[in-house]
Chains A and B, each alone.
Chain A
Amino acid sequence: ALALLFLSMSWAKRGCSSSSPKLLSQLKSQANITGNTASLLEPYILHQNLNTLTLRAACTEHPVAFPSEDMLRQLSKPDFLSTVHATLGRVWHQLGAFRQQFPKIQDFPELERARQNIQGIRNNVYCMARLLHPPLEIPEPTQADSGTSRPTTTAPGIFQIKIDSCRFLWGYHRFMGSVGRVFEEWGDGSRRSRRH
């Protein structure tokens, strides 16, 4: 199972820190940054003219399903790392599809910055996984799909894509906030019923 994680991380052959506290500290600050809606959701709302009460509500009323904080807390450390790694992999791809929404990538620099941050987190998650023994299990994602799954008969119009995209980003930021809080608990060892 661990080999699969390595395989999927082939690009991440960069050196790993061997210091768990240092990695954990990095992961906490990265989760903090990416959990902040100012890093991606807010610029997106402004760019797509969704900055009204009604449209903000439409964005946050139905957040796209990401693994909940409670669920993340129940996971063992290896399962938690696998879930974070797999979910962020999907987020990374989904954000790639967002590029279509802009004439040029430079028109929305926050998008590429977010994707780079996600790669950085995934790399640290990979490195943290290497410091945990025994090997990791990679569970299927516990949420149906962290993409924009809207049962639509016809291709959605751009308005619906905007709203779905907004909900996705809102869900992503919330997910990273949860990840950050779970990592916080790693630090002080106060985790209670966790399967190891």
Chain B
Amino acid sequence: VLGEPLQLTPEIHTVSLQSALQEANLEWTVPTFSHQELNIVFQIEISRMRTSNTIWVGNYSTTVKHEETVHWKWTSDIPLECATHFIRIRAMVDDAQYPPQSSWSNWSSWKEVNAQVSVPPDTLLIFPEDRLLEEGSNVTICLMIGQNLYNVSCKLQEEPIRGEQLDSHLSLIKLNNVVFLNNAGTNINCKAMNGTKNTFGTVLFVSKVLEEPKNFSCETRDFKTLNCLWEPGIDTTLSWHKQRSQHYTLYESFSGRREVSNHRNSHTWQITEDSQETYNFTLTAENNLRKRSVSISFNLTHRVHPKAPHDVTLKTVGATKAHMTWKVPSRGDYTLLCQVELQCEGEVIHEHNVSVHTSANYLFSDLEPDTEYKACVRCASANHFWKWSDWMQKKFRTPEAAP
């Protein structure tokens, strides 16, 4: 009958732990569930050290199908090795087919989650061990104190750090806004006033925050390859193989091609015959902790950085004229605009622009006899200026005027 509350007591099947991530992965079912599909809200309660010590309660709404297992993940604020945890769940139907329910189901039985490690009497165990984390983040360190030890004091490098005693053998130290020291990690070290004179410790591998690549741009010099450059920002490499240098991946959405660069700040992208003219690149920087992406879109013809003109020749014509010819790297109907300059004694005395497909020539006139000049030429895209090529220069001297 639709009106009556449904008794759907969940049953926890498995809890698997990923201690390095401080995660507990739960799987449960609702055995008395006979519907095809139903929206249910589950309430999860988590206790630490003893069932009466609740540390976390939360709801999780999901659609449950017949005989389906529900999956859910919890991230602990402290390392799971430090304490035993207990988890139980109850449910309430939250489905339009049913009038609003007012009561929860019964609780499942408590599920014990025990990742605790045993502590030798004269030892101090510190978790997490050799954790990688980002500068500015927080971390809770836990000390598991051997039976023979007491009066434990800890330092972050040389700075004393205080903990909260959960019981005589378990202490928590909360560190906020951790700071990068260098790539060999920050040493947390602890000593007990009695027992062995040993120093116990762990290393926090604090990584600089991965920066977004800056000034990402691509250009072509030959219509065969695209040369992409960017400024990588800080290197987040850490020692002890805790984090290699971030790597950079280029993804081009029109072609769907993805390439990992072998360099920190550049990549050469092959332009294939069937390549499109418009490109939409996403450059992603990635390390163990974070990804940062930037995107650019452009038309290939708007990003032409021509190679310098070549085969420049200079013939003087009489004492007051000179004829210059040159060639440019050509590509079909592509037009370049070439800038011609004449210099005398280091000063630009003449300037002119010439449209060019493959080769061009220009006549300098009104020159002074018996004078040294320097003719210069560079080119750029005629339709969409991007960058000038390098200059090509040719010195010449006009002959003396005929007597």
Contacts and interface: CB of A to CB of B under 8 A. Distances in A.
A116 interface: no
A47 B200 CA distance: 19
Nearest to B130: A158
A158 B244 contact: no
Contacts, number: 75
B181 A159 contact: no
B199 A47 contact: no
A58 B191 CA distance: 10
A186 interface: no
B352 interface: no
Nearest to A159: B201
B194 to A, nearest CB: 16
Interface string A30-65: 000000000000000001111011110110010000
Given A48-B184, A49-B185, A157-B129, A163 B202 contact: no
A163 B182 contact: no
Could you tell me the dominant secondary structure of chain B's interface residues?
loop
A157 B186 CA distance: 13
A157 B182 CA distance: 18
A112 to B, nearest CB: 16
Interface stretch (A11-19, A21-29, A98-106): A98-106
Given A54-B158, A54-B189, A107 B239 contact: yes
Contact of B240 (A50, A53, A100): A100
Interface string B153-184: 00101100000000000000000000001111
Contacts of A100: 240-241
Contact of A158 (B183, B191, B198, B240): B240
Interface string A152-163: 000001111011
Contact of B199 (A48, A49, A55, A103): A55
B187 interface: yes
A58 B155 CA distance: 13
A54 B191 CA distance: 9
A157 B130 contact: yes
The 6 closest A-B CB pairs, nearest first, are A58-B199, A159-B201, A52-B158, A157-B129, A158-B130, A158-B203
